Amino acid sequence: MCGWFPFVSLTLATFDKIKFPVLMHVKPPDDAGLEELIPSVWWATLENDKENPLPPSDEEERELQRRYNKSCQDLRVKVEELEDIQIEILKVLLTHSDPLDKKTSRMIFLEKLKTYLKNNNRLGKLQQVTTCPLSFFHRLVQALRFYWDDFQSADPSRFVSSQDAFIPIHEFWVDSRELSEVQRCGGLVSHLNKVLGGEVNKCQGLQIDKDGKPVRNPEVSKDYPPMEMPSGNSLMELLDVIVLLYNLSSHDQLFKMFSLRDNLKEFVTALRDTEMKLDVCPSDRPDMKAELERAMGVFQEKYEDLARQMAWLISVVFSTRKQEDLAWLLGVTLRTMEKASNYGQLFQYIPEFYVETVLQSMYALHCYFNPIINVEEIRGYDELRRKSGIFLIRHFADARIIDAEMRENIVQALACFICYPKPLKALESLPQEIKENMIRNLIAPYEGRSWAQTNWILVRIWKGCGFGFRYTHLSHLVPSKVQPTEFGAASLQKPCPSLELQDVFRGLLLRDKEAATRFLDTLINQLNWSFSEFIGLMQQIQQRVSRTELRILEARTLKICATCFEIAVCLMRVLEMVVCVAPETVLDVSRESSELLLGRLIQLLCHVLNRVTTKSGVFCSVISHSIQGLEVVLHYPIMAVTVGILIQLVMKSSEKSQRKVLSCLLSDPAFQISTLEFTLGVPLPQASPSSVPKGRKDKEKTFNFQTCDEVSKEEVQAVRNLISFLKEKQASFQEASEVIKEEDLCTICYANSLSAVFKPCGHKSCRTCISHQMMKKKECFFCKTIVTAVDDLQGHQILTNNTAGT
């Protein structure tokens, strides 16, 4: 084999100029060559706005489909023959049995490859996308797996097969790693060595003696799992480089190639639409017919070009072999992360690009390869999907990952993961402890993380169960077939509520009263903020519209306004889930904060109803102008969830709880039954007839649940029953017979009577005010003494401070 070395040296010397990776590339033929290879083209038309491809409409189309698929298969066979030759060349270059000057071909190859990736990693991700072909990644995977299995067969007791490959965590803190500048989950290596150096020694069974020298002591490593596979192998170095190569270059190239499919879908749709228009074109309009035929010729030509280019990608890029390579990479990175997670804080040595590669490969398998190649056909994909779900759940709130943006990416990946039925089923099948940890992290305080994404996950668990909440998207909003982000595509999936996770959610809220109170308090606070921001921005927009400055409305302002509205609706949907699956959190009198939370919730609902239904108000005024950029700001989303919460609280509670809700609702000065009648098309009385611009009065459509496709007949009847019931109760509802004396008024809110005594200081306030205070500071309003307990005026204890004296 030493005779090969001059050739190897010459080949590796060309690595600096990016020549060798290009040698691993199979260049596509020109247009004429593709036409010869793919003489017949066909691509499925999509069903309306869905991703479901329609079958061929007639025998002629079926024959085109058969020819096209056969041409792709024939091309794949020819290309794979060439790929096999390239893999054999790479195997020669990765030979590890030809040492010369203490270096083998594999060692030289790794040095060159790591230097190349290191240099390009400094420069950013623009250069390497065009210089390092995707095919190089796939050839490396095949060659590595060959040598990995060959090595494992010689030492099966200590080395796993390539199918179960992973990188032990010990590999990530060795001094010989040349990629030390790469950011780790816990920060830079220099920082980690200072903080965790002692733990690294313990993990390796080393102890520092009095002279400062490391000595072996296996007892100190008992807190860590035993090493499953020896580190320091050149194949592990190569595997590490492959993971980095995919992260830096290969995934971006997959995205670029995948975008061709979206372009092709657009031209297929345009071609079919033009054919339909041509069929109904009047015979007395030859000019229109000629224009349609010209357009059809242009679309047909572009469609055929793109379909042939897509055939090349189907044969060379999106093939079964390439899909298996990517699934294998996902398995490797998931196992590496799973095993490293068992090492406590030492997990922070894992490079961030491993986390990114897990997320990238999950998305590529699900969205780039699928549906060209069904992702379900991957061997062992159910287990792979299950492990992906465990990874997302364990690490979306993992404090060991210090980069907030990285954690947010994991949260967004979990939000997308949970939108699809089969991944959701995979999460439901996980052990109860894992599911509870996920829900616990979702309802934890929002400090330092993206609360909008975590709320979306809770909304997705609920979507399909709420009042009028069974739609994929509102009927008047037709989304683009090409979504720019993964989250955009995932959010348009059909509702698939999880009763299993809702049950876990309920159980956690009922068992952990303190966590439930903090969650609801945070939820209501965020809702107050988002809705207030929304109304403030709407007022700014209204002022500009009133001054005929519609043209100078900033797109950024409109986007923020629409986002605040959507966030407010999502928060209210989470509140709807709370009152439906765990109403005890606001209705159970034995829970200290239930009365306060119910009062705040009712107050907020009344505030929303008044703001949204007032004809002369800012909401109705702005949406009447149909401003581009505010298409999502409508009555329906926010009115549906508000009414849904009220129906649950008023009509579906026990008699005792119902009386409590009615007392709170009907005594609220902001509550008006007319705001509920508004939802059935009954307009509110105008405060000022001139408040609505002339010319718009006749054009405005009256909002009415009865005309909304998203609301069922049973739900409309529930709204009628709610209104009738509240009218009946309001007529018999009587205020307190005597006016509260001034000296008996709570001096904090001046709205309620004194009803609570603080211990030990003896100061008084109403129960609502002290309940709110106890959720935060737990000290007296007046003398700042720590409150240990709160009694009512009769001396019965109603609140306790469990943290007092700790």
Among 356, 329, 348, residue whose Cα is nearest residue 239: 329
Report the candidate in 253, 247, 241 with the shortest Cα–Cα distance to residue 352: 247
657 and 586 in a common domain: yes
Indicate if 713 and 776 belong to the same structural domain.
Answer: no
pLDDT tens sequence across 451-486: 778 888 999 999 999 999 998 877 666 555 555 455
Q: Tell me if the bond preceding 39 is cis, omega within 30° of 0.
A: no
CA distance 642 to 136: 55
pTM summary value: 0.85
Lowest mean pLDDT among 345-354, 362-371, 687-696: 687-696
Q: What is the DSSP letter of 518?
A: H
pLDDT tens track for 173-188: 886 665 556 889 999 8
Q: In whole angstroms, how far apart are CA 78 and each of 71, 74, 256?
A: 11, 6, 24
Residues 441 and 496 in one domain: yes
Going through 346-428 in order, the beta strands assigned E by DSSP cover none
- Say whether pLDDT at 806 is over 50: no
CB-side exposure of 584: number of CA atoms within 13 Å?
13
Among 84-93, 324-333, 737-746, name the one with the lowest average pLDDT.
Answer: 737-746
Phi, psi of 636 (to 5 degrees): -55, -55
When pLDDT is cut at 50, 70 and 90, the band that residue 358 belongs to is: very high
Helical H segments across 432-481, by residue range: 432-442, 451-462
User: CA-CA distance, 210 to 773, in Å (whole number)?
Assistant: 55
pLDDT in tens, 263-308: 888 888 888 888 888 888 888 888 898 998 899 888 888 988 999 9
Distance CA 622, CA 550 (A): 11
- Residues 565 and 531: their CA atoms lie apart, in Å, by 7
CB 170 within 8 A of CB 227: yes
CA distances 296 to 51, 54, 273, 291, Å, are: 24, 21, 9, 9
- CA 518 vs. chain centroid, Å, equals 24
pLDDT of residue 177: 64
Q: What is the pLDDT of residue 131?
A: 60
Helix axes 59-93, 105-123, angle to 10 degrees: 120
**Count of CB atoms situated within 10 Å of the CB of 633:** 22
Q: What is the DSSP letter of 100?
A: B
Distance in angstroms (rounded) separating the CA atoms of residues 799 and 787? 10
What torsion, rounded to 10 degrees, do the Cα atoms 482, 487, 492, 496 define?
150
Check if the beta carbon of residue 726 is closer than 8 Å to that of residue 676.
yes
In DSSP terms, 745 is beta-bridged to 753
Residue positions counted in the chain: 806
Share of the chain above pLDDT 70, in %: 85
Cα–Cα distance between 252 and 635 in angstroms, integer?
41
Quick one: 492 and 602 in the same domain? yes
The pLDDT, as a whole number, for residue 128 is 45
Give yes or no: residues 451 and 543 share one domain: yes
| C-alpha closest to that of 335 among 161, 549, 487 | 161
User: Which of 289, 316, 343 delimits the end of a domain?
Assistant: 316
Report the alpha-carbon distance of residue 109 to residue 115 in Å, rounded: 10
Judged against a pLDDT cut of 90, whether residue 556 lies above it is answered with no
Same domain for 729 and 747, yes or no, is: no
Residues 764, 708: one domain? no
pLDDT of residue 749 exceeding 90 = no
Q: Is residue 446 in a domain? A: yes
**Are the CB atoms for 641 and 569 separated by under 8 Å?**
yes
**Per the domain annotation, does 805 fall within a domain?**
no
Sign, CA torsion 19/23/25/31 = positive
Task: Check whether residue 626 and residue 748 sit in a common domain.
Answer: no
Q: Is residue 465 part of a domain?
A: yes
- Identify the domain boundary among 293, 316, 339: 316
Residue 789 sits at φ, ψ, to 5 deg, of -160, 160
Within a domain: 37:
yes
242 confidence band (pLDDT: 50, 70, 90): very high
Cβ–Cβ under 8 Å, residues 164 and 239: no
CB count within 10 Å of CB 104 equals: 20
- Cis peptide, bond prior to residue 226, ω within 30 of zero: no
Gyration radius (Cα) of the chain, Å: 33
Cβ-based burial of 694 (10 A; exposed 0-12, middle 13-18, buried ≥19): exposed
What's the one-letter identity of residue 484?
P
Structure tokens at 319: 């093939």
27 or 325, which is more confident?
325
- Rounded mean pLDDT of 115-131? 58
Give the mean model confidence (pLDDT) for residues 208-224.
72
Is 167 within a domain? no
**696 φ, ψ (degrees, to nearest 5):** -105, -15
575 and 667 in a common domain? yes
pLDDT (tens digit per residue) in 39-59: 988 887 665 545 566 677 778
Residue 477 per-residue DSSP state: -
Token pair in block for residue 725:
């019931």
For 6-18, the pLDDT digits (tens) are 444 545 455 555 5
DSSP per-residue codes, 287-314: HHHHHHHHHHHHHHHHHHHHHHHHHHHH
The pLDDT value recorded for residue 318 is 92
Crossing angle of helices 594-613 and 655-666, rounded to 10°:
50
Question: pLDDT value at position 516?
Answer: 93
146-160, 309-323, 357-371, 487-501: which has the minimum mean pLDDT?
487-501
Mean pLDDT (the chain, rounded) = 84
What average pLDDT does the segment 575-595 reach? 91
Q: pLDDT at position 609, please?
A: 94
Count of Cβ atoms closer than 10 Å to residue 324 Cβ: 17
Q: Which residue has the higher pLDDT, 227 or 526?
A: 526
Domain that holds residue 246: 2-145+234-316
| Same domain for 581 and 539 | yes
Q: Over 50: is that where the pLDDT of 237 sits?
A: yes
Q: CA nearest 705: which of 627, 663, 642, 662?
A: 642
Q: Judge residue 36's burial from the number of C-beta atoms within 10 Å of its C-beta, 0-12 exposed, 13-18 middle, 19 or more buried.
A: exposed
Tokens standing for 285?
A: 């309009």
Which of 708, 733, 758 is where one domain is finished? 733
Task: Assess if residue 254 is contained within a domain.
Answer: yes
Residue 182 in any domain: the answer is: no
Nearest Cα neighbor of 636 from 497, 464, 490, 469 is 469
Q: Are 136 and 24 in contact (CB under 8 A)?
A: yes
C-alpha 436/C-alpha 585 separation (Å) is 18
Give every CB contact of residue 354 below 8 A, 6+ residues apart in sequence.
243, 333, 336, 337
- One domain, residues 707 and 762: no
- Alpha-carbon torsion angle 708, 712, 717, 722, nearest 10: -80
**Which two tokens mark 244?**
């980095």
Strands 797-800 and 756-759: unpaired
Residues 537 and 605 in one domain: yes
Q: Does a structural domain hold residue 341? A: no
Instruction: Round to whole Å and give the CA distance between 201 and 304.
Output: 63
The CATH number that applies at residue 765 is 3.30.40.10
Number of domains observed in the structure of the chain:
3
When pLDDT is averaged across residues 610-631 and rounded to a whole number, the result is 87
